Amino acid sequence: MKKAILLFVVLGLLSGLSYAQEAKFNKWSLEGGIGLTKPFENFEQGFRSATPDFLATELGVRYMISEYFGLKLGLGYNQFSEADNSQDFTSDQYRVDLQGVVNLGRLMKFESWTKTFNLLAHGGVGVGKLEYDLNPNAKDKVGILLAGATAQVRLSPRVSLNIDGTAMSNIRQNLSFDGTGPGSEHNLGIVFNGTVGLSISLGKNKSHADWYLRENEAINQIDLKIADLDKRVKDLEDNTASKQDLKKTQDGVDDLSKEVDALKDKLDTPPATYEDFLKKMVNDGYINIYFDFNSAKVNQSSVVSVGFLKTYLQKNAGVQVDVLGYADELGSDGYNQKLSEQRAQAAAKLLAESGIEQSRLNAVGKGEDTSVDKSSAQARQMARRVSFVVK
């Protein structure tokens, strides 16, 4: 466990230079809810609805384009009935709607303080029909504008509890909610729904978009916690901390250990051994050596990466590694190919000088890295690197 924590300390220090990983989350979910409703204002004299009224139901399918934005196609049903001091009536409203969904929890960085709670916002348009027991021949077709918010509680990797509040405006509602009169002068009906339900993730991945945290973002969160722990440790060393601070620090270490294990378990193909875990992290691009512009000299900031790889190779004597050099897109293809080869050779030489057999290192120049935005100076810095593939 301590080795795993040490590894992620290193990865946290390097996270600012690592590549963003391909997002792998479930995009589809089925959602349903049941609850209470309340129609407002649009009633004839002598009629009013219960507060709150029962029943409101909804069923939908949601597709998340990214962790932040998505679309939802929904079906809904409301039944309105009389309050105790009202004349009897029953009316039914049916609707189909299309809404945009925003993952507010991710935008507001909820992951920095919770993995259990989340918040979604949604809004869109729909069409509906009202049917009235007191006026069975009337079929009131309306347009609908709706907006709301959903508080989520994560129950399992695939199931979330949803608590939703939604406001709807019926446009061109020709009759009152009781069905006995012409309704409001503006032909509007206002409805509030409050429902409780479930969201069920569909797909082969372990996490839904609502809760997905890219590996590099997860490491950044761990890095922040490491920094906080480091400050606490320094306070302890300065003898300025109390026993309560010591316990808090130990609890922080324990929590960090659990997060590291959770991140390890999140990998799509969990490694069988600790060494396999390290190998996957190297091959996934978390360990890189970087170079300055037009240079084949290893950047001083990459010494930590060299030390990590040296230790790994020393402990796994039968392992060989491809040393892959890259250049940014500035300059000619031929020049950049040669520069990438020089960088791969420089990294291999440094590893050999640190005690790794030259026969275990295969230096290969890969030329230009075209995956980054060449107009960005910071992105080009990420392209000027050597990556590794452990065999």
CATH of the domain at 331: 3.30.1330.60
Answer yes or no: do 42 and 142 share one domain.
yes
Answer yes or no: do 71 and 194 share one domain.
yes
pLDDT at 346: 94
Distance CA 8, CA 14 (A): 9
pLDDT at 263: 58
pLDDT at 176: 96
pLDDT at 248: 61
Among 202, 232, 252, which residue terminates a domain? 202
Distance CA 191, CA 200 (A): 26
Residue pair 51/256 in contact (Cβ under 8 Å)? The answer is no
pLDDT at 5: 39
Answer yes or no: do 12 and 41 share one domain.
no
Structure confidence by residue, pLDDT tens digits, 1-34 = 344 434 444 444 443 333 334 568 999 999 999 9
Answer yes or no: do 336 and 296 share one domain.
yes
Would you say residue 152 lies in a domain? yes
- 3-state SS assignment for residue 105: helix
Answer yes or no: do 331 and 227 share one domain.
no
Give the residue numbers spanning the domain of 234: 1-21+214-268
Mean pLDDT in order along the chain per 10 residues (391 residues): 41 38 81 97 93 96 95 98 95 98 94 91 98 94 97 96 98 95 90 98 92 65 57 54 59 61 56 73 88 89 82 88 95 93 94 92 94 87 93 88
pTM of the complete model: 0.56
pLDDT at 318: 84
Q: Is the dihedral of CA 207, 210, 216, 220 positive or negative?
A: negative
**Residue 141: CATH number of its domain:** 2.40.160.20
The span from the first CA to the last CA of the chain, in angstroms, equals 25
Answer yes or no: do 141 and 240 share one domain.
no
pLDDT at 101: 97
Answer yes or no: do 16 and 32 share one domain.
no
Answer yes or no: do 42 and 182 share one domain.
yes
Would you say residue 274 lies in a domain? no
Among 148, 172, 202, which residue terminates a domain? 202
Written as one letter, the residue type at 65 is I
Distance CA 31, CA 10 (A): 41
pLDDT at 18: 38
Answer yes or no: do 234 and 181 share one domain.
no
Would you say residue 273 lies in a domain? no
Structure confidence by residue, pLDDT tens digits, 322-348 = 999 999 999 899 999 999 999 999 999
Residue 271 falls in which region: left (phi positive, over 0), alpha (psi -120 to 50) or beta: beta
Answer yes or no: do 46 and 174 share one domain.
yes
Written as one letter, the residue type at 200 is I
Answer yes or no: do 48 and 139 share one domain.
yes
Answer yes or no: do 175 and 256 share one domain.
no
How many domains, in total, are found in the chain?
A: 3
In the chain, DSSP assigns E strands to 28-40, 53-64, 69-81, 90-103, 117-132, 135-154, 159-171, 188-202, 289-290, 321-327, 361-368, 385-390
Would you say residue 80 lies in a domain? yes
Distance CA 62, CA 31 (A): 8
